[in-house]
Amino acid sequence: MDSEISQLSRQIQEDSVFVQELRKEIAKVLVGQEDLVNGLLVGLLANGHVLVEGVPGLAKTLAVKTLAQAVSAAFQRIQFTPDLLPADIVGTLVFNPKESSFAVRKGPIFSNIILADEINRAPAKVQSALLEAMQERQVTISDTTYKLPELFLVMATENPIEQEGTYPLPEAQIDRFMLKLNVNYPSKSEEARVLDLMARQNVPAASQVVSAEQILKARRTADQVYVDEKIKNYVLDLVIATRTPEKYGLEKIKPWILYGASPRATIFMVQAAKAYAFLGGRGYVTPEDIKAVGFNVMRHRVLLTYEAEAENITSETILKTVFEAIEVP
């Protein structure tokens, strides 16, 4: 087993050479926001989608657009508004009067990297159309089904400030996102660098440093990363502790939890940890990898009671208690 892991680590080091180049290229345009960049890279390598919450102006759009430029992937930004229709995303049939026939006009969903900007501003039908495409990796127009590209990543954003006229995502749909990232304000030194970089006419742009084929190959390699049984049990304990905290001596947080994390949390945490280990050039997952991705995987899967909200208890508070209580293998 050790020899297999060593061989896999060598393979990962070969296949992950592009990671540092990709980070350097993104850093030419994006200042700071390491958590956001790491989350996008994990989503890209683990074949999962990312939900990002943050106030306007924190470079969410710039981050995903820069990633698409560096990977040379087809990029589409969809601004979600209350008057948006499902056909505006997936496409529709258009009548051709010359030939007296209908032709398919594919929508912006047929790209590699999608920015679903302010996803909670569109009604349920539109959200459902996007989330079905995310889950099934295919779109049906009329009576024909079309496969989406193999390299397919959706980054959806939510604005936590303006909630008037919004349509909050149902919990079952939020659960389809592998990661939820909270983007915060930059530090003073980072904002000074942003000022130097962006307060001019010629704003820098990223160049292609990696192909889509390299990303897909890296995915296949990352999927082979070794996960020990102790690590799997650690993940199971973390997730189950959010459902039945009393079994882990965490009776104090039980009144705050309405519903614990779903089985998707267990699956996504292992997949995300594999990708995180790949980014670190390792052929095996460590407890630190689980901790690095755990909050992002579970923060939107732990639903709070009214008591928790009344006491200003957040899902992060609960997850911090769980991670501190569960023994690390």
Choose among 136, 183, 138: nearest CA to 156: 183
- Order of all β-strands in the sheet with 113-117: 75-79, 113-117, 153-158, 50-53, 179-182
Q: What topology is assigned to 225-325 in CATH? A: Helicase, Ruva Protein; domain 3 (1.10.8)
Q: Note the pLDDT of residue 23.
A: 86
Q: How far is CA 22 from CA 78, 110, 176, in A?
A: 24, 24, 27
Q: Note the pLDDT of residue 63.
A: 84
Token pair in block for residue 212 = 């889509």
Residues of the chain falling short of pLDDT 50 = none
CA–CA distance, 32 with 188 (Å, rounded to integer)? 11
Q: Note the pLDDT of residue 201.
A: 65
Choose among 27, 65, 56, 278: nearest CA to 183: 56
**What is the per-residue pLDDT across 33-67, written as a single tens digit (0 to 9) for each?**
788 888 999 999 999 999 998 877 777 888 888 88
CA–CA distance, 82 with 86 (Å, rounded to integer)? 11
CA–CA distance, 237 with 241 (Å, rounded to integer)? 6
CA–CA distance, 34 with 234 (Å, rounded to integer)? 26
Tell me the CATH class for 19-82+111-139+147-212: alpha beta
CA–CA distance, 189 with 116 (Å, rounded to integer)? 30
Question: Where in the chain are the domains?
Answer: 19-82+111-139+147-212, 225-325
Angle at 135 between CA 237 and CA 280, to 5 degrees: 55
